[in-house]
Amino acid sequence: MKVLLTDQAFPDTDLESEILAESGHDLIVASSPEDVRKLAPEADAILNALAPIGADLIAMMTKARIIARYGIGVDNIDVEAAASSGIVVTNVPDYCVEEVASHAVAMALMLLRNLQRADESARAGQWGVGSVRPLHRISTLTVGLLGFGRIGRLVATSMASFGCNILVYDPYAAQIPGPFQRVDQDELFTRSNILFLHAPLTPETRGIVNEAMLSKLPSEAIVINAARGPLVVLDDLVAALRSGHLKGAALDTFPVEPLDPNLIADVPNLLLSPHTAFYSEEAIKESQLKATRQIVKVLAGEPADYPVKAVTSP
């Protein structure tokens, strides 16, 4: 059968080709969005990274039985349209949990200890704590988690190890284990000294961190986003940093990527990484392996390990 790769996110597709060939399938790599539209009608399965797969493209997939995405989020895929067409959508929800959680925590610690400024001062021969004041003991701070999936849970556990009080807002989480405290959205924002975003991008969460919600955060709070860029209204976040209401922010993802550097020029206390939180060599291989195996299983008539359902309000 024919497996169409819509866009190539990794250095090579040797692993995918090998796995598919063992089951008698051929991998076809599209070279452009136009190529995807040309090849989609004849594809039995779709392997996807970042390319958008909307209802119009899905309507052309008359043979496809599965759309397998390499990553966690599926906001680039119209899951409802796929379901209506009888197409299974899968993701790889557990491939970079350690990487994203450690990246988010590292960003938070860097801001909390003002390490950027400390490094600049040491290099300039400015000794002592004057350049990094004020700093506060981490155990005195309250951490808020917007989203409590695999990554959010690991971040919560990591920050709890420093003695932080942990608050969680996630209407989809069945249980919040002690000593973590479930709160509503308003309480999360009004009490969090450190706000970690680990929610999926849905109509409900798009722009959830906006001017109104940022104003609820305690003075000198910090915001960490290693989830989905559009969770944050970037202009509102920049304004809160410039005004001094926020102590700092760290972003790995952005509403539009790559980021226009002019949008964040000279913004104080803003730590950036270019959408790298997911990355380790091990994570990439795991993503390739698991996404491709979903295709093999579904084409063989077996159930997928990671079927995705359309998100509905609780």
Which residue, among 31, 42, 35, has the nearest Cα to 8 in the 3D structure? 31
Q: Do residues 160 and 136 touch, judged by C-beta distance below 8 A?
A: no
- CA distance linking residue 279 with residue 252, whole number of Å: 11
Instruction: Say yes or no to pLDDT of 314 above 70.
Output: no
What Cα–Cα distance (Å) separates residue 278 from each residue in 45, 95, 165?
25, 9, 26
152-193 pLDDT, tens digit per residue, is 999 999 999 999 999 999 999 999 998 999 999 999 999 999
- The answer to whether 150 and 104 have CB atoms below 8 angstroms apart is no
pLDDT in tens, 97-149: 999 999 999 999 999 999 999 999 999 999 999 999 999 999 999 999 999 99
Average pLDDT value over all residues in the chain: 96
- Position 244 pLDDT exceeds 50: yes
Assess whether pLDDT exceeds 70 at residue 312: no
- Looking at residue 208, its pLDDT comes to 98
Domains of the chain, each with CATH number or no CATH: 2-95+281-299 (3.40.50.720), 97-272 (3.40.50.720)
pLDDT digits (tens, 9 = 90+) for 10-47: 889 999 999 999 999 999 999 999 999 999 999 999 99
C-alpha to C-alpha distance for 224 and 47, rounded to whole angstroms: 30
Kindly give the pairing relationship between strand 194-197 and strand 142-146: parallel
Say what the pLDDT of residue 310 is. 74
Cite the active site residues: 228, 257, 275
